[in-house]
Amino acid sequence: MKVKKIKEGIYWVGAIDWNLRNFHGYLTQRGTTYNAYLIIDEKITLIDTVKSNLKDEMLKRISDIIDPSKIDYIVSNHVEMDHSGAIPDIMRLAPDATIITCPNGEKGLRMHHFQDYKYKVVETGDKINIGKRNLEFVLTPMVHWPDNMICYVPEEKLLFSNDSFGQHLASSARFDDEYPFDMIMLEARKYYANIVLPYSKPVQKEIEAAKGLDIEIIAPSHGIIWRKYVKEIFSEYIKWASSVTEKKAIIIYDTMWHSTEKMAFAIQEVFEDKGFIAPVISLQHNHMSDIMTEIITAEYICVGSPTLNKNILPTVAAFLTYLQGLAPANRKAIAFGSYGWGDKSIPKITEYFENSGFEIIDTFKVKFIPTKEYLKNMQETLNEKII
Ligand code: FEO
């Protein structure tokens, strides 16, 4: 339970959740951290807190540096309980502390903690002096919830970015030069695809605001802190937020008697012949949050299901519901599937596609089992439609 110095007088005092495997439906196979930061200055300032079940871990780390009752300010960058959950514990120890948050933050904290704490409400551009340092605030509503904001310390070239730039990654390493780079980037991509993706327009605004700042360190509220690869994560965020895709088609399916599966692999051949990366992913064996990590850079999304009881398989329905909520922009889509006596799966899948705003390129259905001739015709048709 060691603290970690971020800069002289600034410490990571968060908590490591090694055992978390489900973050509202997102498979967090590497756990996560809740990052809280302590700034020792004339005003002792805590940036965010942790999930309440790990409050003792945070309090132990704070106590190794300073008596928690001496905290003057708690900056609450985000109301969600993985960051504000331990505010009541800090406020019990430091009842005179002031919570610095945005207008939606104050409203949200009151509705979560039901306490009449002392608040200082800030807007974009506001600065608060804490001694040798200043805190500068930019409101970033909907870079996850309406209450998100980021906090910049110009004297340290340090950005506390809260949810953005985070990763669900439990580790004893705190910095990006202490952990395998590819793994951090993969988890950052998964995090973006599963948490931040629907808020890509607000992220673009945040990136614009952050571009004007001189940043040496990005300290997010989950996972590894960026200091060596700040430019790299920024450039990936620009791509993800603007829906830049690769020559990639992702083919996702479930199957009953392998007919839909045969169609999936036939579709893959067409894409591969045209030079696309084209993974075929079974929903029986892959978690939808891992599939989203692939989808974020895919130009084509192909989804297949046989008809089951006038509907689609429940695995496919769950995946399409999840996909529709995350709503990746500018995607082309193909629906496919087999049926026995009522061809109902294609209209169901295309309804999800339409609700997601995808451009439907084509649909393919087959009764019972696709013959070689059917698959060949399907491939020829598809071949003409893929550019
Ligand atoms: Fe990490 Fe939106 O909370």
Q: What separation, in Å, do the N-terminal and C-terminal C-alpha atoms of the chain show?
A: 54
What pLDDT does 40 receive?
Answer: 98
- Whether ligand 1 lies within 6 angstroms of the CB of 168 is answered as no
Per the annotation, the verdict on 163 as an active-site residue is yes
Q: How far apart are CA 386 and CA 374, in angstroms?
A: 18
Q: Which amino acid is at 72?
A: D
Q: How far apart are CA 106 and CA 113, in angstroms?
A: 10
For 311, half-sphere exposure in the C-beta direction (CA atoms, 13 angstrom radius) is 8
Paired tokens of 322: 């999840």
CA of 330 to the centre of ligand 1 (A): 26
Give Cβ neighbours of residue 99 (< 8 Å, ≥ 6 apart).
73, 74, 75, 76, 87, 91, 106, 109, 117, 118, 119, 120
Residue by residue, what is the 3-state secondary structure of the chain? CCCEEEECCEEECCEEECCCCEECCEECCCCEEECCEEECCCCCEEECCCCHHHHHHHHHHHHCCCCHHHCCEEECCCCCHHHHCCHHHHHHHCCCCEEEECHHHHHHHHHHHCCCCEEEECCCCCEEECCCCEEEEEECCCCCCCCCEEEEEHHHCEEEEECCCCCCCCCCCCECCCCCHHHHHHHHHHHHHHHHHHHHHHHHHHHHHHHCCCCCEEEECCCCEECCCHHHHHHHHHHHHCCCCEEEEEEEECCCCCHHHHHHHHHHHHHHHCCCECCEEECCCCCHHHHHHHHCCEEEEEEECCEECCEECHHHHHHHHHHHHHCCCCCEEEEEEEECCCCCHHHHHHHHHHHHCCEEEEEEEEECCCCHHHHHHHHHHHHHHCC
What pLDDT does 1 receive?
Answer: 65
CA of 82 to the centre of ligand 1 (A): 6
What pLDDT does 387 receive?
Answer: 80
Q: Which domains does the chain have, with CATH numbers?
A: 4-241 (3.60.15.10), 250-385 (3.40.50.360)
Return the residue whose CA atom lies nearest to atom 1 of ligand 1.
163
Angstrom CA distances, 189 to 9, 83, 196, 291, 297, stand at: 31, 21, 10, 11, 10
Per the annotation, the verdict on 178 as an active-site residue is no
Count of residues in the chain: 387
Contact 284, 315 (CB under 8 A): yes
Paired tokens of 102: 């945005």
Catalytic-labelled residue, pool 34, 73, 144, 206 = 144
Q: How far apart are CA 309 and CA 165, in angstroms?
A: 43
What pLDDT does 284 receive?
Answer: 97
- 10-residue mean pLDDT profile of the chain (387 residues): values are 90 98 94 98 98 98 98 98 98 98 98 97 98 97 95 98 97 97 98 95 91 95 98 96 97 98 98 98 98 97 97 98 96 98 96 97 98 98 94
Per the annotation, the verdict on 144 as an active-site residue is yes
Catalytic-labelled residue, pool 17, 41, 82, 147 = 82
Q: How far apart are CA 96 and CA 31, in angstroms?
A: 34
Shortest-distance atom of ligand 1 to CA 162: 1
Shortest-distance atom of ligand 1 to CA 166: 1
